[in-house]
Structure 1
Amino acid sequence: MSMFCFQCEQTAGGKGCTKIGVCGKQPDVANNLDGLTCALIGLARAAQGKSAGKTANELVRQGLFTTVTNVCFDSDRIKALIEQIHAEKNKLDLTAEDFAPSELWTGDTDIVSLRSTLLLGMRGMAAYAEHAAVLGKENPDVTAWFYKGLKALGEEHTAEQWLDLLMEFGKINLACMELLDEANTSTYGQPKPTKVTMKVEKGPFIVVTGHDLLDLKQLLEQTEGKGVNIYTHGEMLPAHGYPELNKYAHLKGNFGTAWQNQQKEFDNIPAPILFTTNCLMVPKSTYSDRVFTTSVVAFPGATHISGSQHIKDFSTLINKAIELGGWSEDKQFTGINGGKELMTGFARNTVLSVAGTVIDAVKAGAIKHFFLVGGCDGAKPGRNYYTEFVQKAPKDTVILTLACGKYRFNDLNIGEIGGLPRIMDMGQCNDAYSAIQVAVALAEAFKCGVNDLPLTLVLSWYEQKAVCILLTLLALGIKNIYIGPSLPAFLSPNVINILVSKFDLHPITTPENDLQAILK
């Protein structure tokens, strides 16, 4: 059985996976995910001119989210979701047809490139919209755009029309990120700078990975007083900065580093791991019996925890932690550079609260440049670029960072400027909204445009949430973005040329060359 997938950075040969996914997906899973996408297009067609309703809206968000890399490896769950989508589509319009899977990735090279870019961006936005929805926050404009975008995928458009759709999408994704930011901060409080240990204490514990803070909150509530400690992993690290999560004394620290190291870091771990969103790699036999999934995440044989109205019972997971018992002695782990502590919680409120200090430092010449070095991490060679870039950045520069790409350097101690750490972790990938707001505020303070600031974005991409963030940045007119470690396979040469000429998008080269070009 053959397949085709080129949605992530590590895709085979930099062109596309055709036999088995580099992520571990089998062809039947990949093909069923294509079928799921096409069923969603059919649902969007059926909903045209109608009020789709809550169930259909949930299926659109969750269906798109399911297709993100490292989310669902279970064909049965995907087929069940397709059946639900068909049932909902038939309520709206029995005559509406699905898009043909064979048409997703075929046709004129540039049109396929543009269509795919929109689809992949929408998959990323669906993840953010779902995280907001479980906290009771929805934006009707964002919801409506999912239907508009899905319907557009099944239609003919010129290259110019596709580009217009991509820019329109980028702006609506900003609204979605703003929605999630408001959902998180109104529920858990404004993040505050927080030191996080990488030491794991003896005794039972649970590792929570992914992005969903509500899952973590419910688990903290259900483990309180039971002698089970909780550790974050990967993109859950920023949870420590939220007051309503940090108040739990048994939220102890962070386990391990970024998602792509999990097969090594979880090897023989005496504790269960809860996968809340996209980050799941094929589990090794040494810990597959302690993998728990929830939400849209699924893997054959793994225990799945579902819930009603987003309320979940984690007792099976907690009992597994008690049964496994944890380690008999404390264990000190480190980041990839040997550091034993991490910092997080530098969201926009914190950064803007010291805006006066920052502005004075810039005017005095103490800060010469800001770099936003962030994005998705991955296993493909070449990502040490980001570690070296931060290490070689001049001492009068500040590094803002977000998403799991920060694990390449977030355990480094590169000093302070004016009492502020030179590395400031702004949070998860969706917290790019915070970074944008900081840039806008600085531009207003200096009475200039964002592109005139001493600020450069140096991004690493891996999966589809990075795609929607990039489209938002481009839609906002932000230029001179450096991106790597390789360019997306779904971008055709002509589309790349358009992005380079219109937005001054730069593929990364070497840290030395890029720093010289930026700071000249």
Structure 2
Amino acid sequence: MFCYQCEQTAGCSGCTGKMGVCGKSATAANLQDELTGALIGLARASDGNQPGPSAHKAMIEGLFATVTNVSFSDEAIKQQIEAVRREKEALVPQCGQCGTPCVRNDDYDMELLWTADEDIRSLKSLILFGLRGMAAYAYHALVLGYTDEEVNQFFYKGLFAVGEDWTMEELLPVVMETGKVNLKCMELLDKANTTVYGTPAPTEVTLSVEPGPFIVVSGHDLKDLELLLAQTEGKGINIYTHSEMLPAHAYPELKKNPHLKGNFGTAWQNQQKEFDAIPAPVLFTTNCLMPPKESYKDRVFTTEVVSYPQMVHIDDNKDFTPVIEKALELGGYSQTQRFTGINGGNQVTTGFGHGTILSAADQVVSAVKSGDIGHFFLVGGCDGARPGRNYYTEFVKQAPEDSIILTLACGKYRFNDLDLGTIGGLPRLMDMGQCNDAYGAVKVALALAEAFECGVNDLPLTLVLSWFEQKAVCILLTLLSLGIKNIYLGPTLPAFLSPGVLAYLIDNFNIHKASAPEEDLKAILG
């Protein structure tokens, strides 16, 4: 196998051998390469044709399944390969009237990518991994009935480019377009979430667990949470979010359910420790599943594209009876368990979406002009287990008291239980949601730039981002497509950035590798 798409990749260069650091077997990794090659074949077959909704669904699901920590199941990946090839075969007859199959329908051999010139490989990896991340956002919007044809068509265009023998000059515009289209995709998902579940509002969420049966729900899929809440209503079962699902508490249509009680645990990489003795089942709705330990694997359930060998999978009929029965069987805790965050706090606050922040825009602008607010930091991104991630905790702790900390995604669990106080009636720490909600941060930045009649790069705003997997990649590309500069990225730089491509990003966007909090703060603030 060869895989270097996530931050934990072996030796910061690539996972090889029999198993990846994520726990994915070489067989599964090679099948995911085969699936990617089939998706490129589908993109080739679509050239000059009009793939329909079923092809779009196969494309989006296939790309999403190859995101880190989603699918570990050989059989599930094989079924997706078959589905993609069926869609390709359906398009082949459209390739001309001559009766001869088009020669551009062949699947792509991913070995050609992994052994390509390092700069070409790097640019194609940025496109491919960006598309995988964007597919996750498109998938969540699709589940709620929202889709966009421009976004759908770009999956084919981007994958077609990955399969072509193009130069750097030809690939660079596709890299930037990936970021541009992802902005539209994130806007689509934001519209889907807020239309279906309402505008998020600041909400305090307890980290304690009440006595009695309960279910922990992890991942990003709000629809699955909605369905589970409906099926557990009146059954004496409480529901707790985990990691990426925390922002669900801020949506009016979800928080109105009295048995949606609180949040269990911290970020995804701690699940093997936190789930070890939990007397309740855990439902994984999207990515960030780690190989379950023997001590709790009988309590793990998957749904959607998440899959793991020998785990009970809830299919598209969405009958959560096995999860409910397991919760009743285990019974939960006999008395209230008072858990805390990493820094000892017993509650966290979420729900500072763009609707909330922009509703206080006049207050924000006034506080900046009066000097009460000196700087904004967006400290967010994916969390992970690699040493050095305490950088983000220390950065937030050392940030000056006249600064506002905006945060996104599960990296916030490093510091979201801290009490940083307020500035001019505004909380210093504002949780804007998950990586799925990154559109909100972009919208706030653009609105502030308009209010101050300047460019985004002229704002007293610095982005300090942690990365782990492919959704962080497409968000970074979106920021670059908007011309945003001086981003601090860490804790390590992606293995798929070749020296040449990294030099291009530094020269054109002034990207910085995170070093030490005190040094970076000094450089930022002068």
- For the pair 1:158 / 2:173, whether they are aligned, the reply is no
Q: Which digits, 9 at most, give the CA deviation of each residue in 1:27-50, with x for residues without a partner?
A: 001000000000000111111111
Indicate the residue corresponding to 1:204 in structure 2: 213
Indicate the residue corresponding to 1:59 in structure 2: 58
Q: Alignment partner of 2:433: what SS?
A: coil
Q: Alignment partner of 2:215: what SS?
A: strand
Q: 1:10 aligns with which of 8, 11, 14?
A: 8
Give the CA deviation at 1:163: 1.1
Cα distance in 2 between the residues matched to 1:291 and 1:430: 24
Length-normalised TM-score, structure 2: 0.97
Indicate the residue corresponding to 1:507 in structure 2: 513
Q: Which digits, 9 at most, give the CA deviation of each residue in 1:155-175, with x for residues without a partner?
A: 021112211111111110000
Q: Which digits, 9 at most, give the CA deviation of each residue in 1:376-430, with x for residues without a partner?
A: 0000000000000000000000000010000000000111111211100000102
Whether contact under 8 Å (2:65, 2:305) holds in the other structure is yes
Q: Which digits, 9 at most, give the CA deviation of each residue in 1:199-241, with x for residues without a partner?
A: 0001100000000000000001111111000000001000000
Whether contact under 8 Å (2:200, 2:351) holds in the other structure is yes
Cα distance in 1 between the residues matched to 2:116 and 2:433: 39
- For the pair 1:343 / 2:352, whether they are aligned, the reply is no
Length-normalised TM-score, structure 1: 0.98
Indicate the residue corresponding to 1:240 in structure 2: 249
Cα distance in 2 between the residues matched to 1:463 and 1:273: 22
Q: Alignment partner of 1:366: what SS?
A: coil
Which amino acid letter does the alignment assign opposite residue 241 of structure 1? A
Q: Which digits, 9 at most, give the CA deviation of each residue in 1:336-371, with x for residues without a partner?
A: 100000000000010011111111110111100000
Output aligned runs, 1:19-58, within 5 Å. Answer: 19=17, 20-58=19-57
- For the pair 1:477 / 2:483, whether they are aligned, the reply is yes
Give the CA deviation at 1:104: 2.5
Indicate the residue corresponding to 2:98 in structure 1: none
Which amino acid letter does the alignment assign opposite residue 152 of structure 2? T
Q: Which digits, 9 at most, give the CA deviation of each residue in 1:431-473, with x for residues without a partner?
A: 1110111111111111100100000000000000000000000
Q: Alignment partner of 1:206: what SS?
A: strand
Cα distance in 2 between the residues matched to 1:283 and 1:316: 18
Give the CA deviation at 1:85: 1.2
Whether contact under 8 Å (2:161, 2:171) holds in the other structure is no
Indicate the residue corresponding to 2:359 in structure 1: 353
Q: Alignment partner of 1:196: what SS?
A: strand
Q: Aligned residues: percent identity?
A: 66
Cα distance in 2 between the residues matched to 1:166 and 1:23: 26
Cα distance in 1 between the residues matched to 2:30 and 2:13: 17
Give the CA deviation at 1:71: 0.2
Cα distance in 1 between the residues matched to 2:382 and 2:352: 18
Indicate the residue corresponding to 1:266 in structure 2: 275
Indicate the residue corresponding to 1:377 in structure 2: 383
Which amino acid letter does the alignment assign opposite residue 193 of structure 1? P
Cα distance in 1 between the residues matched to 2:514 and 2:170: 29
Q: 2:432 aligns with which of 426, 429, 438?
A: 426
Cα distance in 2 between the residues matched to 1:75 and 1:132: 26
Indicate the residue corresponding to 2:321 in structure 1: 315
Q: Alignment partner of 1:400: what SS?
A: strand
Whether contact under 8 Å (2:128, 2:162) holds in the other structure is yes
Indicate the residue corresponding to 1:116 in structure 2: 125
Cα distance in 2 between the residues matched to 1:115 and 1:77: 26
Runs of 4 or more consecutive aligned structure 1 residues displaced over 2 Å after TM superposition: none
- For the pair 1:178 / 2:210, whether they are aligned, the reply is no
Give the CA deviation at 1:295: 0.4
Q: Alignment partner of 1:335: what SS?
A: coil
Q: Which digits, 9 at most, give the CA deviation of each residue in 1:83-115, with x for residues without a partner?
A: 111122112115510001211311101000000
- For the pair 1:222 / 2:221, whether they are aligned, the reply is no
Which amino acid letter does the alignment assign opposite residue 258 of structure 1? A
Indicate the residue corresponding to 1:468 in structure 2: 474
Q: Which digits, 9 at most, give the CA deviation of each residue in 1:255-281, with x for residues without a partner?
A: 000000000000021100000000100
Cα distance in 1 between the residues matched to 2:328 and 2:252: 27
Q: Cα RMSD between the aligned structures?
A: 0.7
Whether contact under 8 Å (2:218, 2:241) holds in the other structure is yes
Indicate the residue corresponding to 1:74 in structure 2: 73
Aligned length: 515
Whether contact under 8 Å (2:182, 2:475) holds in the other structure is yes
Cα distance in 2 between the residues matched to 1:92 and 1:470: 33
Cα distance in 2 between the residues matched to 1:516 and 1:430: 31
Q: 1:194 aligns with which of 178, 196, 203?
A: 203
Which amino acid letter does the alignment assign opposite residue 220 of structure 1? L
Indicate the residue corresponding to 2:464 in structure 1: 458
Cα distance in 1 between the residues matched to 2:176 and 2:109: 26
Cα distance in 2 between the residues matched to 1:428 and 1:508: 21
Cα distance in 1 between the residues matched to 2:78 and 2:465: 35
Q: Alignment partner of 1:231: what SS?
A: strand
Query: Could you tell which deviates more after superposition, 436-445 or 467-476?
Result: 436-445
Cα distance in 1 between the residues matched to 2:163 and 2:369: 52
Structure 2: segments with no counterpart, 5+ residues? 93-100
- For the pair 1:389 / 2:417, whether they are aligned, the reply is no
